[in-house]
Amino acid sequence: MTKLSVNINKIATLRNARGGNNPNVVQTAIDCERFGAQGITVHPRPDERHITYKDVMELKDVVTTEFNIEGYPDDRFMEIIEKVRPAQATLVPDGPDVLTSCAGWDTVTNESKLSDIIKTINEWGVRTSVFVDPDIKMVEGASKIGAHRIELYTEPYASGFSEDKVKATASYVAAAKRAKEIGLGLNAGHDLDLNNLKYLKENIPYLDEVSIGHALICDALYYGLENTIQMYLRQLQEH
């Protein structure tokens, strides 16, 4: 079964808007796991506009499922990964001034840089995942630099889903098949929601994990967090 990792960045955004500790990020992570989430994802940006360094250190001690820390691999990020030793480190190419991830790595151009970073993280016993577009060359590049997995950037899929599902999925299917052939695990994330997740799961083979935050938290405002997590898990069930 494809695992659901809940990205709790937006919980921290809401907390930071008012100050204090409401909602409680750590308790939310505990509750997400209790409600069925199979992983917790955070993206501790340098400006701490949502998840903070302190949050990550506190989460390290309470997350009992899979802790996935994503971010741009600068010195601060590497320090966090070395200290926390999460289950997975997901490398994204966006710098600190970017609002949200908007493209995958060029794993060919950045081969030398990423190879050294991934080698270090792998030596810490942390699974590495590289955020890439659904491009065969980028998938093959991720394998060449030593990553364990790729995370397919699914915003283009989400954008094209309502117009032409088959067309929107085609490049992802090809990327997934190539990843499987060369021994890469497969994650996916960005703009996945209750409308498009089931189709993605049914049509993209070998999907190990999806990371979902924004849409899931928005849905939770209407449906409640426990019910929403269950709704997302049902989209990922095998049939």
Return the active site residues.
43, 70, 190
Q: Helix 9-18 vs helix 25-34: angle between axes, to the nearest 10 degrees? A: 150
CA triple 103-108-114, angle to 5 deg: 80
Sequential DSSP letters for 145-170: TT-SEEEEE-HHHHHHTTT-HHHHHH
What tokens appear for 116 in the block?
A: 């050294």
Q: What is the C-alpha end-to-end distance of the chain, expressed in Å?
A: 10
Structure tokens at 77: 């990020």
